[in-house]
Structure 1
Amino acid sequence: MAEGKAGAENRGGAGSKGLIIAAPSSGSGKTTLTLGLLRLLARKGLAVGSVKVGPDYIDPAFHAAASGRPCYNLDSWAMRPESLGALAARAASGAELLVCEGVMGLFDGAFVPAGQPDGSTADLAAATGWPVVLVIDGRGMTGSAAAVLAGFAHLRPEVRIGGVIFNRVVGDKHKAAIAAACARACPGISLLGFLPPSSGLETPSRHLGLVQAAERADLQTFLDGAAALVAEHVDVDGLAALAQPSRLAGGSLGAMIPPLGARIAVARDTAFAFAYPALLEGWRQAGAELSFFSPLADQGPDEAADAVYLPGGYPELHAGRLAGNAGFLNGLRRAAAAGAVLYGECGGYMVLGRGMEDAQGVRHAMAGLLGLETSFARRRLHLGYRRAALYAAGPLGEAGQGYRGHEFHYASVLAEQGAPLFSVADAPGADLGHAGLVEGRVTGSFVHLIDRFAGS
């Protein structure tokens, strides 16, 4: 069912304050802490918004489930400054507090020349002025925990570490030793809590990250458990008091990627879940009307649509089912025959191809609209930021139009026959050749586009 055209421009959020939950490395516990904090504050009646640093589809869905509000991604490398400011304001609009979850370790980002945005959490902290609450895994450390904290506090003076929470702390003696060492080394940093090991709050993962929120039958129980953990072990009032207003200039959210048509049918289910809210909202604000359909339920796109968007996701986990869904595949073929624009990213790109080989080596026929054959039986990781420029004019813009995005998949390409869509490079600018295919008005690639640039 159509969801209507763009509403009023975003003008709010300037008064909201924010903070960043970050860590020295992935696996330190920042996601569980963030989700518990969001759920706890929302349960207390606070209007709490959230953002996630970097290219990530899965964590934001957990944020939205915990807070009851959309979560937006902020990426200093892949987004123009005006896009960053507009999205930060959008996330903060109507919120009393904005919680940002970092990506990887605080200072981890793209390998680019010094002084250029690298997409790291530290870059966003410097740009926004939001203080950082560092989550440190305290296993096997006492005095050394203070050295970790001091090192992170002093590496970049413009990145303020306002508080620290230690995770996986076992017993009062362990807690007291860490607290004493940190009080001596970093007296200006608030000790906000000590979390015990919480074996009941694991976040299951698969080859592209966490299992999706929509796939977890125990989601509400997990979120409530995380909230209870935070309530018992974290000084939530002290943490919230650290928040500061953003220094980013706000503004209206424009189309970061031009609308594919006036009426865009978007595939949406657990096999096609990787569509950024900012992308869809930008299309609405540009005047496009969106409708949604489920390929897993054997639904085809709205026949009135003049464009079809197949986002990424996990179609490889459902390849046999999708291959047997004639209503879905024939709907794509009818749309292409009628002259509609069809655009697929990553998993959506593979489904537009001729065939997909699953992890057991069984080939499943797909839509056959692009000369693409892929395999998950011959896994190879493709990961990283991408600069992309269009080879020729088409639905995504004029020849040479630049984009920034990311690639994250394990599929191997067995055949890729036809005209390429993009010339691509990595974040430092090293040439990676071409990406994607174009066949008439059917296009796609493995690159998840984030924002347009005058040059890639």
Structure 2
Amino acid sequence: MMTSDKQHATHVRPRLIIAGTGSGAGKTTVTLGLMKALASRGLRVQGFKCGPDYIDPTYHTAVTGRASRNLDAWMTSPEYVCHTFVQAAEGQDISIIEGVMGLYDGKDPLSNTGSTAEIAMVTQTPVILVVDVRSMARSAAAIVLGFQQLEPELNIAGVIVNRCGSAGHYQIVKKAIEQMCDIPVVGWLKREDDMSIPERHLGLVPAIERGELDPLFQRTADVLSEGTDLNLLLKIAGAAPPLKFKNYIPELEQRQVPEQQQNQQNTEVEQEHQDHQEHQEHQKRQDDQDHQARPVIAIARDAAFNFYYPDNLELLEEAGAKLTYFSPIAGEGIPADADSIYLGGGFPEEFAEAIATNKLFLEGLRQAARQHMPVFAECGGYMVLAETLTDRQGVTFNMAGIVPAHVQMQTKRAALGYREASAVQDSFLLEKGDILRGHEFHYSTMTYRETDTIPYAYETKGMRGLKPEGYNSGHILAGYTHVHLGSNPEAAHRWVEHCRMYRQSKQKEVE
């Protein structure tokens, strides 16, 4: 996706980060309301989410009509973050980046690593701080002042106060904050019982796809517009500095040459231009031929399997793969032209019966395993590769039976946090010792029949130290960790190359 280059590019991108003083401050409500209100004005709005979250980008996409992107400077490099932002924001009128947790909360309590603040500084984006001011007056100013002073390099450009009791309450906190902090309070929201965003529960994706949350999105826009100076927010966004970062796309160098060399150089440039055109035409023909020969990665994508970073899919395409999609819960099997299978995360436990009764899908997975087709599964996909899955009601369903283990859902969260995954053996994705970064979040446990002979995929490092994780055997690579291929783009090329080798082996068998 990216190759190093010494050139630097400058890009103008109007943008804001909506951050909170903590989880539950109201940043998602403000983000969705602002996105909807601006889109209703006819503006093209691009959404982003700080951190590894999959759910909030789903909201953003539903409101803006454009795929929201994750920005994470721990899983990927700061340069990668800037590249992702600039590319996705191109041609849009404004970008709205939703923060994660509190403004300074992230991977490390002693630094800004993995926090909204880190993304704000990496992308040089003005921050709008959402403050819950229930039962508070001048103390609100102390909170904002503390947030300003903790990181002086951060541009906290405005405040939105949430859960005000009345217009009079709003005026009190507004005057206090503006007096002490020298930044504008650009808006407020009342204590609205019907303004709570639905829990990020398992029925979220189909509910959004059916349009059931559209009235809520409109309600957030109406309430936000009523008490917020949208024109001032647009002005703050437009004042964001041009974004400079190392350019990954080589540009033609502009060189000053003596006048006597100009004519000769012009002739050379014309010849180079002609050669370039001929090369482009040849390359287009070659690309058309190559497209037909591209290895196919079949991706399960529906309400049960929907946790995919857009970057991962794009990196696979840029590495030479053709992507095709299918829905296991709709009764579909593995596409016939598949050279690899990608089972992402999601909520297979909520659709376990539909998956268990889709014999075409499960047998297709088994056949792929027998044929040593590259199969990559994350979290929910990993669960489906197991022998059985027991849901929260205690009902057990038969799954693919490729991974010799049983999955048990539980009410208590089993794992949460960033992971650095080091390969403990070679696979089609990584060589032994190679590293990918990602995130783990699940409520299920995987219990193997024989714990002494598990062919682990990774050794993962998190806040609680090192642990073996996942499964790697016979071109089956699976685990609970959701990896971000942007942390090691070579992994995407390695995967696609193995797909290509599998495709060639199939063709030889036919011949």
TM-score, structure 1 length as denominator?
0.90
Q: Does 1:231 align with 2:225?
A: yes
Q: Does 1:399 align with 2:427?
A: no
Question: Where do residues 361-380 of structure 1 align in structure 2 (5 Å cutoff)?
Answer: 361-377=394-410, 379-380=412-413
CA contact (8 A) 2:377 2:479 kept: yes
Q: Does 1:424 align with 2:460?
A: yes
Shift of 1:164: 0.1
In 2, the alpha carbon distance for the partners of 1:413 and 1:285 equals 34
Shift of 1:330: 1.4
Amino acid at match of 1:142: A
Q: Does 1:390 align with 2:384?
A: no
| Structure 1 residues 154-189: Cα deviation after superposition (integer angstroms, max 9, x where no partner) | 110011110000011111221121112112211x21
Shift of 1:207: 5.8
In 2, the alpha carbon distance for the partners of 1:16 and 1:101 equals 16
**Aligned position for 1:435:** 469
In 2, the alpha carbon distance for the partners of 1:234 and 1:305 equals 51
Shift of 1:327: 1.7
2:236 corresponds, among 231, 235, 242, to 242
Q: Does 1:44 align with 2:41?
A: yes
Q: Does 1:54 align with 2:84?
A: no
**Aligned position for 2:12:** 15
**Aligned position for 1:255:** none
1:196 corresponds, among 165, 190, 197, to 190
Amino acid at match of 1:325: N
Structure 2 unmatched ranges of 5 or more: 1-7, 250-293, 492-511
| Structure 1 residues 379-402: Cα deviation after superposition (integer angstroms, max 9, x where no partner) | 443001001011122111211110
Q: Does 1:171 align with 2:205?
A: no
Shift of 1:378: 6.7
1:452 corresponds, among 458, 480, 487, to 487
Amino acid at match of 2:147: F
CA shift in 2, pair 1:444/1:82, >3 Å: same
Amino acid at match of 2:124: G
Q: Which segment is superposed worse, 349-358 or 322-331? A: 322-331
In 2, the alpha carbon distance for the partners of 1:121 and 1:158 equals 13
TM-score, structure 2 length as denominator?
0.80
| Structure 1 residues 90-111: Cα deviation after superposition (integer angstroms, max 9, x where no partner) | 2211112111110000000112
Instruction: Name the SS for the 1:102 alignment partner.
Output: strand
2:76 corresponds, among 69, 76, 79, to 79
CA contact (8 A) 1:267 1:293 kept: yes
In 2, the alpha carbon distance for the partners of 1:299 and 1:281 equals 24
Amino acid at match of 1:297: A
Shift of 1:24: 0.5
In 2, the alpha carbon distance for the partners of 1:229 and 1:318 equals 36
Shift of 1:452: 2.9
Amino acid at match of 2:418: Y
In 2, the alpha carbon distance for the partners of 1:102 and 1:416 equals 41
| Structure 1 residues 348-393: Cα deviation after superposition (integer angstroms, max 9, x where no partner) | 0010111111112222110011112110147443001001011122
In 1, the alpha carbon distance for the partners of 2:323 and 2:399 equals 24
CA contact (8 A) 2:10 2:243 kept: no
**Aligned position for 2:144:** 149
CA contact (8 A) 1:355 1:372 kept: yes
**Aligned position for 2:296:** 263
| Structure 1 residues 206-240: Cα deviation after superposition (integer angstroms, max 9, x where no partner) | 56896666366422212221221222111111012
Q: How many residues align?
A: 433
CA shift in 2, pair 1:424/1:308, >3 Å: same
1:344 corresponds, among 373, 377, 393, to 377
Amino acid at match of 1:419: P
Q: Which segment is superposed worse, 144-153 or 89-98? A: 89-98
In 1, the alpha carbon distance for the partners of 2:343 and 2:199 equals 23
Shift of 1:291: 0.4
In 2, the alpha carbon distance for the partners of 1:289 and 1:63 equals 27
In 2, the alpha carbon distance for the partners of 1:104 and 1:196 equals 21
Q: Which segment is superposed worse, 344-353 or 63-72? A: 63-72
Amino acid at match of 1:104: M
In 2, the alpha carbon distance for the partners of 1:432 and 1:423 equals 7
Answer 1 or 2: which has greater helix percent: 2
CA contact (8 A) 1:401 1:454 kept: no
Instruction: Name the SS for the 1:383 alignment partner.
Output: strand
Instruction: Name the SS for the 1:331 alignment partner.
Output: helix
CA contact (8 A) 1:267 1:310 kept: yes
In 2, the alpha carbon distance for the partners of 1:434 and 1:112 equals 25
Shift of 1:80: 1.9
Amino acid at match of 1:241: K
Q: Does 1:219 align with 2:213?
A: yes
Same amino acid, percent of matched pairs: 40
Q: Does 1:290 align with 2:287?
A: no
CA contact (8 A) 2:82 2:122 kept: no
CA shift in 2, pair 1:455/1:140, >3 Å: farther
**Aligned position for 1:121:** 116
**Aligned position for 1:26:** 23
In 1, the alpha carbon distance for the partners of 2:20 and 2:315 equals 31
Structure 1 unmatched ranges of 5 or more: 1-10, 253-260
Q: Does 1:94 align with 2:91?
A: yes
Amino acid at match of 2:169: H
| Structure 1 residues 3-46: Cα deviation after superposition (integer angstroms, max 9, x where no partner) | xxxxxxxx999221211100110111111111111122122121
| Structure 1 residues 265-306: Cα deviation after superposition (integer angstroms, max 9, x where no partner) | 000011101011111111112221000011111111212111
In 2, the alpha carbon distance for the partners of 1:300 and 1:398 equals 30
Superposition RMSD on alpha carbons, in Å? 2.4
Instruction: Indicate the structure whose relative CO is greater, using CA pairs within 8 Å and at least 6 residues apart.
Output: 1
CA shift in 2, pair 1:27/1:42, >3 Å: same
CA contact (8 A) 1:22 1:103 kept: yes
In 1, the alpha carbon distance for the partners of 2:52 and 2:158 equals 25
CA contact (8 A) 2:58 2:205 kept: no
**Aligned position for 1:106:** 103
Shift of 1:334: 2.3
CA contact (8 A) 1:132 1:161 kept: yes
Highest Rg: 1 or 2?
2
**Aligned position for 1:181:** 176
